Structure 1
Amino acid sequence: MQASTRLIQSFPVDELTGALAVPIYQTCTFVQESPGVNKGFDYSRTANPTRSALEQLLAGLEHGHSAYAFASGMAAIDAVLKLLSTGDQIVAIDDIYGGAFRLFEHVYRRFGIDIVYCDTADLAQVQAAITERTKLVWLETPSNPTLKISDIAGLAELAHAVGAWLCVDNTFASPVLQQPILLGADLVVHSATKYLGGHSDLIAGAVVAATEELGKQIQFIQNASGAILGPFDSFLVIRGLETLHLRIAQHCRAALQVAKFLQTRPEISAVYYPGLESHSGHAIAKKQQPDGFGGIIAFVLNDDTVEAATQLATSLNYFKLAVSLGGGKSLVCHSASMTHTAIPAETRRAAGFADSLLRLSIGLEAADDLIADLAQALDSLAVPVAAPAALEPESVLA
């Protein structure tokens, strides 16, 4: 059975009514037959039938033991970090999402968690960074925003050698293209806001655990901390999952066409897309993502300035200037001033993240139309424009 068929056939039919769509159980509490005796649910923070249906679907998609849905991707990341104790160490990818960096540096470092950043695409660097105190190796692959590709199986082996967990943020690839648990990961996180939901109409996160033991720990944290996903948003993610395979296929097809076009433009000095043979991680990406390379592209302008990036981003018509990704509408984001402002400029640059880098989320429009839009915006770069205001301090991240 193919993965798309398996997913669609795994959507449950409501046992009470026969409803084909998963019902929204919009309730906070459940009547008990006697004290402590119930029908499997007592309070919706602990468990809710709509959320439980979503969690079972996500566990199946990622080939995990169990999954847990959270109020945001950041809440999901926070739940994983709560597995750690004072004195533990995290080895994390240097090209890290700004929101994760902010949480690591400004919250958990204060609690005595040490974080070391390195290029996880280089196994030797990770090997050198890992110590006996390392309890978690934190990975994004493809990474945000330069789309670095890291060897999940190789990193799992390094992490497990010292008794550490490997957690993979699989948001960019989605479980359609990559299943980290099958490659040795212990935990997978998602911003379900993105491809899983797929319609830019919700905020949600998820953690998938490879084992029963880890699942129980995440479930305890979910219930104890309370950052759960509500029934209606759980329903929206379930609805999004029905078309996940179709959407991902279209995102991938269009993104490869757009990436190849961007390579031809003299205004651009670098294009980051793992589907390009020129990408340093292309060979590993082909092994880990055999069915496609995703819908995210990043590129750097020859004029590596915030001003040039701003001019290009605001000259586009079909690409809307906004944070987030993974929806039906194509988006453009200037990462340095939008999603990664929590990361100091020198840290960003050291990780290979240029000031003019623009991130594209390829939507469901025709690739030819997106290419035409990019062409006219790139053509406009020759026209002088007034410099924009200086970057403001940290903004809302997504």
Structure 2
Amino acid sequence: MTVPAVANGSGHTASSSTASSSQNDAGHHAAAFQGFSTKAIHIGSEPNPATGAVIPPISLSSTFAQDGIGNHKGYEYSRSGNPNRDSFERAVAALENGTRGLAFSSGSAVTATILNSMPAGSHVVSVNDVYGGTYRYFTKVATASQGITTSFVQMDGAKDEVKERVNQAIRKETSLVWIETPTNPTLRVIDVPLIVSLVRSHPLASPDVKIVVDNTFMSPWFQNPLDLGADLVMHSVTKYLNGHSDVVMGIAALNDDEWADRLAFLQNSIGAVPSPFDSWLALRGLKTLSLRMKAHGESALAIAQYLDSHPAIETVIYPGLPSHPGHEVARRQVTKRARSAHTASTESGAFPYGGMVSFRLKVDPSDDAPADKVLSSLRIFTLAESLGGVESLIELPSKMTHGSVALEDRIRLGIGHNLIRVSVGLEETSDLIEDLRQALAAAGL
């Protein structure tokens, strides 16, 4: 199908990602695509006009023929725009209630491109408990290449304290506010509308300050940050959006056409774009996102409740539990569809909130031996970094995903050697609980 092209100033054009169009080539009206799963299955997967194929073909061509100079069918060169990438971008933009989507070769490439769209010498306000790779880019790359400085701020907790900390952090040169919610790996819940209101009303803040939310842990099924006031939502597609641990990708979705054009220019100029095959695989994974997220959430809640009752566990961190300090904010920010999809009734008020669970063993946080024994005794959980796949993964953040975070920052954030992070997969919940039980027992806990 032909897509509109946006000039990116490089001699190429990049396809414009739109969440909807008045009518596609197969005659399906986008207005009919209201439900989440309907959008995930149909947007970007319109029947091929040449063959009628209901699954888009993989377009591996690196270049595209022109009928005349500048007279093409929406694509010129695959770095600048590719049919498979365009399909995936449109689908994710629709699920995030955005108008533009831009896919990249990794989540880290999304982060890098967003930072590259900021003026040199800018200031960033970031949540302090941020993904280790993001922390590394802010502190080791952006500061050296662009002179960008970052203030890491605790954005959860009592409302008045959050206001004070965020207000103190914002400067006149602040150009970007970076939020993860829930955070990685301690699952702190950030009140996005509160942060947005603080930034927009701050006397020093420019009206051009951009607010980004990393929505990787939640996926669009559980949370839509653009609806909460964010300017841009990003994902490591590698995780839940693709969902099968066989793709490394990232994506951004937004409604700001001017900023989207700037990001599209950088997407093409830097060239950190996903392959057509990865884009095809990710679109395939997206079709089952709602089913997978429901199952991830239900199982994660059951596992969190089991761990909460285990005598060897000091703390269970899961925002769906009433014991979590951000429980009420989580309840307010989770989508209505996710709340209504919960099948079990609990008197406690617990509800599924994504598939990530963290917990602390009741041991010395400076001693990694107990956690090592637990992790090496598991039979179903796989010891590995990453998350969001169909298989359950488990890891020790202090020595794995957050090893790049400075020791003093890890201590301040509570990322000791007793903190374990779990990505709950789609195996039978009872098998996963039994695996955790026997591993804790094998460790003498």
- Interval containing the TM-score (normalised by the shorter chain): over 0.9
Q: Select 1:65's aligned residue among 99, 123, 129.
A: 99
Identity %: 41
Matches within 5 A, 1:356-375: 356-375=418-437
Which residue is 2:21 aligned to? none
* 1:51 alignment partner in structure 2: 85
Task: State the alpha-carbon separation in 1 of the partners of residues 196 and 50 from structure 2.
Answer: 43
**What is the RMSD of the two structures over their aligned residues, measured on CA atoms?**
1.2
1:116-138 Cα deviation digits (max 9, x unpaired)? 00111143221221121111111
Q: Please tell me whether residue 89 in structure 1 is matched to residue 134 in structure 2.
A: no
The structure 2 residue matched to 1:113, chosen from 148, 155, 158, is 148
Provide the rounded CA distance (Å) in 1 between the counterparts of 2:414 and 2:56.
44
CA contact (8 A) 1:170 1:178 kept: yes
Match of 2:355 in 1: 295
The separation in 1 between residues aligned to 2:304 and 2:234, in whole angstroms, is 27
Instruction: Pick one of 238, 256, 266 that aligns with 2:283.
Output: 238
Aligned to 1:388: none
Instruction: Calculate the TM-score normalised by the size of structure 2.
Output: 0.84
Residue 393 (structure 1) aligns with: none
Aligned match of 2:171: 131
Residues 39, 94 of structure 2: 8 Å contact kept = no
Larger mean CA deviation between 321-330 and 206-215 belongs to 206-215
Matches within 5 A, 1:185-264: 185-264=230-309
Tell whether the 8 Å contact from 2:235 to 2:252 is kept in structure 1 after alignment: yes
Distance in structure 1 (CA, Å) of the matches to 2:167 and 2:381: 40
In structure 1, what is the equivalent of residue 13 of structure 2? none
Give, as a single letter, the amino acid of the residue that structure 1 aligns with 2:35.
Q
Distance in 2, Cα, partners of 1:12 & 1:285: 35
Q: Is the 8 A contact 2:397 2:415 kept in 1?
A: no
Equivalent residues of 1:76, 1:205 under 8 A apart: yes
Secondary structure of the structure 2 residue equivalent to 1:166: strand
Question: Which of 171, 175, 191 lines up with 2:216 in the alignment?
Answer: 171
Conserved? CA contact 1:136–1:159, under 8 Å: no
Q: What's the secondary structure of 1:350's corresponding residue?
A: helix
Specify the alignment match of 1:321 in structure 2: 383
Gaps of 5+ in 2: 1-33, 339-351
Amino acid corresponding to residue 6 of structure 1 in structure 2: K
Q: Paired residue for 2:186?
A: 146
Aligned partner of 1:4 among 17, 37, 41: 37
2:323 alignment partner in structure 1 = 278
Render the CA deviation track for 1:171-192: whole Å, top value 9, x for unaligned.
0000011000011000111100
Q: Equivalent residue of 1:299, what SS?
A: strand
SS of residue in 1 equivalent to 2:283: helix
SS of structure 2 residue aligned to 1:20: coil
* Structure 2 counterpart of 1:156: 196
Contact kept, 8 Å, 1:197 with 1:238, in 2: the verdict is: yes
Residue 439 of structure 2 aligns to a residue in which SS? Answer: helix
Counterpart secondary structure, 1:69:
strand
Counterpart residue identity of residue 386, structure 2: S
Q: For 1:328-371, what per-residue CA distance to the aligned partner results, in whole angstroms no more than 9, with x for missing partners?
A: 11010111111111111111111232221110000001111111
Aligned mates of 1:156, 1:182 — CA distance in 2 = 11
The alpha carbon displacement at 1:157 in A equals: 1.8
TM-score (norm 1): 0.94
**Separation in 1 of the partners of 2:225 and 2:444?**
44
Structure 1 distance, partners of 2:114, 2:106, is 13
- Which consecutive unaligned segments of at least 5 residues does structure 1 have? 384-398
How far, CA to CA, are the matches of 1:15 and 1:141 in structure 2?
41
Q: State the Cα deviation string for residues 258-292 of structure 1 (Å, max 9, x = none).
A: 00000111111111111100001110111111414
Equivalent residue number for residue 60 of structure 2: 26
Mapped partners of 1:210, 1:178: distance in 2:
16
DSSP-derived class of the 1:337 partner = coil
User: For 1:55 and 1:16, how far apart are their aligned partners in 2?
Assistant: 22
1:76 counterpart letter in structure 2: V
Q: Give 2:415's aligned amino acid.
A: F
Task: Please give the alpha-carbon distance, in whole angstroms, between the structure 2 residues aligned to 1:347 and 1:287.
Answer: 29
* Residue equivalent to 1:342: 404
- 2:232–2:254 CA contact under 8 A, matched in 1: yes
Q: Distance in 1 between matches of 2:69 and 2:240?
A: 41
Q: Give the aligned residue type for 1:222.
A: Q
